[in-house]
Structure 1
Amino acid sequence: MRSAIMAVAISALTAGLLTATTASADISPLDRFGDQSLTWQPCDDSRLDPAGAQCADVIVPVDYSAPQAETMTVSISRLPATDPAQRRGVLMSNPGGPGAPGLDFMIDVRNGMSSDVRDRYDLIGMDPRGIGRSTPVNCRWQHGFGLESAGIDGVGFAESVAQQAELAALCASNEGPRLRHITTRNTARDMNVIRAALGEERISYFGTSYGTYLGAVFSQLFPERSDRFVLDSAVDPEHYGSVGMIRAMGSVNEAAFDRWADWVATADNEFRFGADRSAVRSTVQDMVRHANDRPIRIGEFIVDEHSLPMVLYRGLDDPRNYPLLARQIRQLADAADGIEVQPESELAAALAFMLTAQPRDYSPASAVLCGDVEVPRDPAWYWRNIEASRADQPLFGAFANNIPPCAFWAPPVEQPTVIGNAVPSLLVQSTGDTRTTHAGAQVMHRVLTGSRMVTLEDVPVHWIYGNYPNTCIDSTVNIYLRDGTLPDTDRTCQDDPGRESR
């Protein structure tokens, strides 16, 4: 009898251990991240705190293939839905870049929202991994921001090659193995952890520029977790990366320059660049050539053939900035003529960012781009493309085809995400976008088979909803976010009348 009792007891104990072992095996190591409790507190931010936002840190694995190893934090913000009775869920977001902090992004985006959209969503901002408050990448760059023109000759290109190699080496030495995990796929995985930690079954999403690619990667990896997605100023997913995306900017920025030149020629008495497009173009191209021979000293900055085209690039992405850009180029032209000039505040800030890596460097952007997609490594390949582009892209070909830091980066740990799904989404795009081209957005539209596109015609603006008010665009987006109703077909919107530059 005693032996029989012992046998039964051992059998029961063994069964219990097997059951416990099986149950334990069913628990994913990632579950602990989704089950974490968030601590909401004031954001200590001059924009977010007055708006009533709160912030929290979310713990995520550095490497999702080893979730029990090293962790990092991702910072998020929350602006609560204004009518809890109407609340639908959360609307996450990304402002692009890559490399742009996004904690306060939704304060701007909600400018386009109707009140019944604000009623329905907690608006979630996020500093993506490696950026802002989210365990930031810091390569300690002292100059440059990873984007520059190669200049007008082989000497200038050689300088670019040396500088981009130096930037990559600084990232490798200062960041180490963690750098390879600052990727779009991991940020999308972080978003899914955030979703779970917020207690949501699905997320809605608004992203602009690079943020459209992040949104598309999320919907590709987690289609069952994707609700209403708005992708504004969309990246071409088949040419995403530090080479494909940048090369596409050459011709569209030349076209935008011509449009700016037409505008500035009408104010020749004020700006003195020339009375027609051709004269303005000739004046500015001469400035670039002269900056190669004799860099322009303006205030504490020295502007050369590598950086002068980038001042133009930064100013051409919104027609409301045309007067501001004209004033900046006039200041640079005066300084080139030997006049002592102190740059106005916005030009000084732009030059500080480009030339001195202040207030922050652009290394997190390179971390994402280089971690996502491998690029050609032979400098001769880039030089051939630069030379071939000069005839029809005299101002921007040497920028759009220049060698990036990624040419000197360690290979990505994962292959890029192939986008192709039927998750419903709404694409918003302008035909003249200088950063993410209309043609590239059409590729995104094609591979997102459940999408509709609404196009703002004949406006060279990058990021529309919440940034460039347009009745037609805002209404289409708000109806979709409120009701989930996509347009029956793609549609085209015109610029609102009475638009003024500043």
Structure 2
Amino acid sequence: MTTKKTKKTKKTRKRPRRLALQLGAPAAALIVAASGTAAHSAQKPATGLAAYYGQRITWKDCRQGPDDEPGGELDRAGAQCAQVTVPLDYSRPTGRTTRIALSRLPATDPDHRIGTLMLNNGGPGEPTLGMPLQIRPYMGRTGARYDLIGMDPRFVGRSSPIDCGWPSGMWIRSAGQDRAAFDRQAAFQKDLAERCSRRHGDVLPYATTRNTARDMDIVRAALGEHRVSYLGYSYGSYLGAVYMQMFPGRTDRVVLDSAGDPRRYGPTLLRGSEAPLERALRVWASWAAARHRSYGLGATRSSVLVTVRRIVRAASDRPLHVGSHQIDEHVVPYLVYLGVGSDHEDARAAFSATVRVLDKAARRMAVAPTPALEETLRFVLDAASSRDVSPAAAIICGDRAAPRNPEVYWRDVQRSRSRHPLFGPITDNLFPCAFWPEPPREPPTRITGDAPALIISATGDTATTYRGSQALHRLLTASRLLTVRGAIGHGMYGEYANACVDGKVNAYLESGKLPAGNPTCKG
């Protein structure tokens, strides 16, 4: 998942009612064309949606019970929470509805208030309700001049969440070493899709980015704002671009951090990241080799890479035992995929410790996971994380159709394996989308135009690649691309702790003026 989450696109970086309305127009008139023009270009809401746009928000405490610590943190910070009602199906606004959960951290300098900044954590499917508390410290003095809005997208977090009841967590897997392994994990993916269909088949067609963008515009209107500013990470950048396309003229200052190529977003979103992943793996291997006395993985880069290959081969012979977990050839490469995505010292140290544990397990030694590896394995393998990753699959599969024939993926895996033996079987593998109960009801949004935005990307991003951010920059002709040169990371503003990046973003959020050219910061 573009994965700031399909890795869990953002999770992995940090790991951490019914309205009586009258339908007076054909359903098609309520759906914005794939080009993003026409229907929503004016401020007047589409026919049948006026009552949604005109609803009033009732703000209240965020904490929902004695064990709700995230809600308690919001309350202690002075935030408030609310719910907004939206149509389940925008082509039938008089039909079923659903509720969208919001948080608001008000501006602390209301006399100099700039406006409202809507936030998205990425994913897709990443809860965003608590994000205002994370973002305000990054903003410096500018943060006091914005109302910060966290919005859990439909079917995520507190917004009528879906949980497919999966027997394990993350569905991104390696195809394995041979056809038998591919067939096993294809059956695994098919089972995941069928579980989602049984539990949530009635709402899965409406779990889409375009519907989330429509929800955002209702929230904008309910907040009383003519225009809103926006900050999105990873998939959140795609969501922001879709919103700008579907609702032109309704954004002010837009920051799209770690953006990908919107034309590649969908069930094959990981393709194209093989080369950045391999470069990041080599850079990490050099780092680990320089610390051979600490980790024992090899005294040269090539010997560290040999250790990684030995671990992968051992897992293909039979699963590795790490504490109470069994880690097979589908999961071990994914752990490497996750581990190389940051050049921060603590991240490299944690991944090196993980590889040391896996190396011992590959030599069939009894070994316990480090705390960081235990947390990752629980996320990847434990059924409890089904609730975290189900919405991501639903949104990706609802946005763009995937090939239905497993043979297509098998051929792609075989072609990529020769060039990218470790990462190709991950990036070309199938997702549950190959077995999704029905195809998307709308085509993807075509991103183009001259809406202003500041795009941020690290040249070594392994999740949403720098090349993808360059592509989005070319599509949004009035945008600027802030390049973080030489950095390996996903999520640059605030999270990467780069003063140059933070300063340029905050200057834009304060002044509303994009840089004259495309600036560069050193990673």
User: Counterpart in 2 of 1:470?
Assistant: 498
Letter in 2 for 1:278: S
Q: CA deviation at 1:361?
A: 4.2
In structure 2, stretches of 5+ residues that fail to align are 1-21, 26-43, 64-70
Q: Distance in 1 between matches of 2:353 and 2:307?
A: 15
Pick which of 285-294 and 453-462 moved more.
285-294
What SS does structure 2 have at the residue aligned with 1:223?
coil
In the alignment of these two chains, the number of paired residues is 471
Is 2:283 aligned against 1:283? no
Does the CA contact (< 8 Å) of 1:109 and 1:467 recur in 2? no
User: Counterpart in 2 of 1:39?
Assistant: 58
Letter in 2 for 1:106: P
Q: Distance in 2 between matches of 1:342 and 1:54?
A: 42
Q: Distance in 1 between matches of 2:195 and 2:411?
A: 27
Does the CA contact (< 8 Å) of 2:137 and 2:143 recur in 1? no
Identify which of 353, 372, 379 aligns with 1:346. 372
Q: Distance in 2 between matches of 1:109 and 1:376?
A: 38
Which TM-score applies when normalising by structure 1?
0.91
What SS does structure 2 have at the residue aligned with 1:122?
strand
Q: CA deviation at 1:404?
A: 0.9
Query: After the TM superposition, which residues 96-111 of structure 1 pair with which residues of structure 2 at under 5 Å, given as runs?
Result: 96-111=122-137
User: Counterpart in 2 of 1:64?
Assistant: 90
Report which of the two structures shows the higher radius of gyration computed on alpha carbons.
1
Query: After the TM superposition, which residues 132-211 of structure 1 pair with which residues of structure 2 at under 5 Å, given as runs?
Result: 132-211=157-236
Q: Distance in 2 between matches of 1:451 and 1:67?
A: 34
Q: Distance in 2 between matches of 1:109 and 1:341?
A: 39
Which TM-score applies when normalising by structure 2?
0.88
Does the CA contact (< 8 Å) of 2:120 and 2:128 recur in 1? yes
Does the CA contact (< 8 Å) of 1:140 and 1:361 recur in 2? no
Letter in 1 for 2:163: N
Does the CA contact (< 8 Å) of 2:229 and 2:254 recur in 1? yes
Q: CA deviation at 1:386?
A: 1.1
Q: Distance in 2 between matches of 1:248 and 1:242?
A: 13
Identify which of 227, 231, 241 aligns with 2:266. 241
User: Counterpart in 2 of 1:388?
Assistant: 415
Q: Distance in 2 between matches of 1:110 and 1:460?
A: 24
Query: After the TM superposition, which residues 367-378 of structure 1 pair with which residues of structure 2 at under 5 Å, given as runs?
Result: 367-378=394-405
Letter in 1 for 2:435: F
Is 2:142 aligned against 1:123? no
Change (3 A) 1:107 1:317: farther
Pick which of 131-140 and 205-214 moved more.
131-140
What SS does structure 1 have at the residue aligned with 2:232?
strand
Query: After the TM superposition, which residues 13-92 of structure 1 pair with which residues of structure 2 at under 5 Å, given as runs?
Result: 28-44=47-63, 45-92=71-118
Q: CA deviation at 1:458?
A: 0.7
Aligned-pair identity in percent equals: 46
Structure 1 runs (4+) deviating above 6 angstroms are 24-27
In structure 1, stretches of 5+ residues that fail to align are 1-21, 496-502
User: Counterpart in 2 of 1:355?
Assistant: 381
Letter in 1 for 2:54: D
Q: Distance in 2 between matches of 1:355 and 1:378?
A: 26
User: Counterpart in 2 of 1:337?
Assistant: 363
Change (3 A) 1:230 1:264: same
Is 2:436 aligned against 1:417? no
1:29-55 deviations in Å (ceiling 9; x for gaps): 211112212121222224323322111
What SS does structure 2 have at the residue aligned with 1:110?
helix
Identify which of 459, 476, 479 aligns with 1:448. 476
Is 2:252 aligned against 1:227? yes
Identify which of 337, 352, 358 aligns with 1:326. 352
Q: CA deviation at 1:486?
A: 0.6
Q: Distance in 2 between matches of 1:144 and 1:119?
A: 38
Does the CA contact (< 8 Å) of 2:169 and 2:384 recur in 1? no
Alignment root-mean-square deviation, CA:
1.6
Q: Distance in 2 between matches of 1:127 and 1:346?
A: 27
User: Counterpart in 2 of 1:432?
Assistant: 460
Q: Distance in 2 between matches of 1:246 and 1:63?
A: 29
1:386-427 deviations in Å (ceiling 9; x for gaps): 112223312111111101111111100001000002111100
What SS does structure 2 have at the residue aligned with 1:247?
coil
1:456-489 deviations in Å (ceiling 9; x for gaps): 0011100010201112211111111101111101
User: Counterpart in 2 of 1:486?
Assistant: 514
Identify which of 267, 287, 295 aligns with 2:319. 295
